[in-house]
Structure 1
Amino acid sequence: MSITVVNGLPVHVLVVHFVIVLVPLSALAVVVAAIWPSAARRMGIALPLLAFVTLASVPVATNAGEWLEEHVDSDALVRRHAELGDGLLPWAAGLFVLATAVWWTTRRSASVEGAHSERTRAGTPRSALVVRVAAVVLSVVVAAGAVVDVYRIGDSGAKAAWHDGFSKTADSGGHGDND
């Protein structure tokens, strides 16, 4: 049994706000951690945990949206929003994988550096640099894709919800009158 309505509102309308906040926040955290290993060390386990909560929130919002889709008038805007919503999970999974990889490698490299701190380093080995650059590039690409996808999904959802639900002119039905 799943919760479908809370306080008279469809759960989807409430849960999507977690996704709207968590995806960009996770994307930003992953990019910052990939670029600055010291920031990744400060974030610690919170980085992959944030990305995991983000990943978990996506199917919750999607499932609630599927329930809502069955309970509203179907039109092209609703169908488009549902189609776009189905595409967010791979982006969220990518953020989680990258967050975990950045956390793991930063944690591992910090312990290796601590164990070998007495030797003089001539610089970062080329292979480590290649891995770090690849992590930064992948993080930026996945983060940008996730944020753009969330924007597109949210925009299509707003259009589906509001396309005929308001007037561009003020309602003269007495709202705000002091009679």
Structure 2
Amino acid sequence: MDIFADAAGFRIAGLPLHPLLVHAVVVLTPLTALAVALVAVWPAARRRLGWAPQAAALIVAGLVPVTVLAGQNLAATIGYTPVILHHEALGLMLIPWAIALLIAAVAVAVGERMLPRLRRTRPRWALALHLAIMATALISATGVTAVTVLAGDAGARAVWGAV
């Protein structure tokens, strides 16, 4: 039996892929955002978590667009309604936020490697760079979590709203 019954239709064993992927996005995205925020502001978390936040951010940045594509395919199959269009719009908003989270995670890792050397010479801009990296991480973590919650809520309302 072929795993992808219809590769172009985003299905696994005949089931639409979107509802399966959504669960991974809804769980992994806020956890990754929390990890990126923690490593941005807490040095002990950076040492303990290592490269896990960056790896998770890379996975989220790849998983979100695939989930959106699978959702668009599912919507084309079942039909567009106002609640589905709203959910789709929020899902599309999640893509740039996931990319921003990845950029912030990488910036935190690069800053962690670069800033200790700069602290020895203490240039004035090193503190500003450190604060900018922290702010970017916190803003992207907050934004990606908020949009994930909004998109998830809109999706749940699209599915269960009439129940």
TM-score by length of 1: 0.79
1:59 aligns with one of 50, 56, 65:
65
1:28 aligns with 2:21: no
Comparing both structures, which one devotes a greater share of its residues to helix?
A: 2
Secondary structure, counterpart of 2:63 in structure 1 = helix
Q: Whole-Å Cα distance in 2 between the matches of residues 69 and 145 of structure 1?
A: 25
Q: Whole-Å Cα distance in 2 between the matches of residues 55 and 4 of structure 1?
A: 18
5+ residue gaps, structure 2: 1-6
Q: Whole-Å Cα distance in 1 between the matches of residues 44 and 157 of structure 2?
A: 42
1:99 aligns with 2:99: no
Secondary structure, counterpart of 2:78 in structure 1 = coil
Partner of 1:42: 48
Bigger radius of gyration among the two: 1
Q: Whole-Å Cα distance in 2 between the matches of residues 107 and 44 of structure 1?
A: 12
Q: Whole-Å Cα distance in 2 between the matches of residues 26 and 39 of structure 1?
A: 13
1:137 aligns with 2:143: no
Identity %: 36
Q: Please say if residues 111 and 130 of structure 2, whose CA atoms lie closer than 8 Å, have aligned partners that are also in contact.
A: no
1:18 aligns with one of 12, 15, 24:
24
Partner of 2:153: 155
What number of residue pairs does the alignment pair up?
157
Q: Deviations over 1:56-94 (max 9, x none)?
A: 000110110011001113211011111111111110000
> Letter of the aligned partner of 2:84 in structure 1?
V
Secondary structure, counterpart of 1:20 in structure 2 = helix
Secondary structure, counterpart of 1:74 in structure 2 = coil
Deviation at 1:3, TM superposition (A): 5.8
Q: Deviations over 1:92-114 (max 9, x none)?
A: 0000001001111212345x38x
Secondary structure, counterpart of 1:86 in structure 2 = helix
Q: Whole-Å Cα distance in 1 between the matches of residues 60 and 112 of structure 2?
A: 21
Q: Please say if residues 78 and 157 of structure 1, whose CA atoms lie closer than 8 Å, have aligned partners that are also in contact.
A: yes
Deviation at 1:49, TM superposition (A): 1.2
Deviation at 1:53, TM superposition (A): 0.4
What's the RMSD between the two structures over aligned residues?
Answer: 2.2
Partner of 2:93: 87
Q: Please say if residues 83 and 158 of structure 2, whose CA atoms lie closer than 8 Å, have aligned partners that are also in contact.
A: yes
Partner of 1:70: 76
TM-score by length of 2: 0.86
